[in-house]
Amino acid sequence: MVLAKTGKNVFTSDNIMFYDTAQVYFQFMKDRKLTQSTTTQFNNGLYPGTKKVNLEPMPVRIFQGQDSAMLLRSNFFANEVIKYGSSISGANVLGNVTVRTRTKSKAEQLDEKYARGLFSGGDAYSFDVMSDVRSQSAMNALQYLQGQLPGIQINNATGGEPSVSWRGSETTIYLDEMPVDAQTLAGIPMGDIAYIKVFRPPFMGAFGGGAGGAIAVYTRKGGDQVVAPGKGLEMNRVPGYSAYKQFYSPDYSRDDPANSQPDYRSTLYWNPFIFMDATKSKTKFEFYNNDASKGYKVVLEGVNELGQLVHIEKTIQ
């Protein structure tokens, strides 16, 4: 992006068009300390528009002889109760029923998010690494698990050739449900790990019957990623144009069974890209009408070559 200085401490960049929101990163090259102490404002130059607020509440009207669907349904069930209620004898009325629900723990939520297939549920120890402060002092998952599980033996977790065994049998290790060795797991920093499951032996999903159990380590996904703190560049968000909508437009020239359905579209034609200039002052377009309209309301909005907004409405009978 090339910036042009248009005034004192004012910079602009033309011919940039984007939708939704853009992230602008900036830094003062001569004196980078100004980045932290200077107030910066970003403006996309677009007309902010106005918001019309209707302070008068909308009245709810029920016309005589015209019930809503909800009232009709309520009346139907009420009449059924009156009709059959008196004829049913010996009926028992169900007493009060108390329904209890249980909120899932964070470990259960992580298990649903990360574990799949044979790794989902099961007889296993679960560790919510992201919420455990002990993980901050561990170099890797093997050191983190040392001393936390009865019967499991972890050797050389932080140096040498690591190994993991349970009841004298080698423990199978998985990283994101793919088998790896202990050395590979020892090289994964704890900041990249979200969830750990340790399956008691035997783990039937492992080769050889899993006599030594299994350790399943899951790395963080998108929403769980943690950005390491650092100086970096300052950033500001600038809103752009709203993304244009797409309206349904049938093609009645084709033999399509859907074309036999009634057509009550309120928007018959929508085109966000109509370009006109001095050499092209007219344009032609075609569209299919619906089954009810007898007139058209044409709304034309755009921007001229001077950047001025244009809004024209016309009704055609």
Domain boundaries, the chain: 106-224, 244-317
Angstrom distance (rounded) from CA 62 to CA 60:
7
The C-alpha atoms of residue 123 and residue 197 are separated, in whole angstroms, by 10
In this prediction, residue 112 carries a pLDDT of 86
Predicted confidence pLDDT, tens digits, the chain (317 residues): 555 556 666 777 766 777 666 777 766 666 656 655 555 666 666 655 555 545 444 444 444 444 455 566 566 656 665 565 545 445 555 667 777 767 777 778 888 888 888 888 777 888 988 888 888 888 889 999 988 888 888 888 877 788 999 888 889 999 988 888 898 898 888 888 989 999 988 887 776 678 888 999 998 876 665 544 444 566 666 777 766 666 777 888 888 887 888 888 888 888 877 887 778 888 888 888 888 888 889 998 888 877 788 899 999 88
Residues 27, 35: contact at Cβ < 8 Å?
yes
What are the distances in angstroms from CA 177 to CA 93, 116, 118, 130, 147? Answer: 52, 8, 9, 19, 24
pLDDT of residue 243: 64
Nearest to 171 by CA among 144, 205, 148: 205
Residues constituting the chain: 317
Residue 124 burial (10 A CB sphere; 0-12, 13-18, 19+): buried
Calpha distance 317→311 (Å, rounded): 20
Top CATH class, 106-224: mainly beta
Closest CA to 151 of 128, 169, 163, 177: 169
Distance CA 39, CA 37 (A): 7
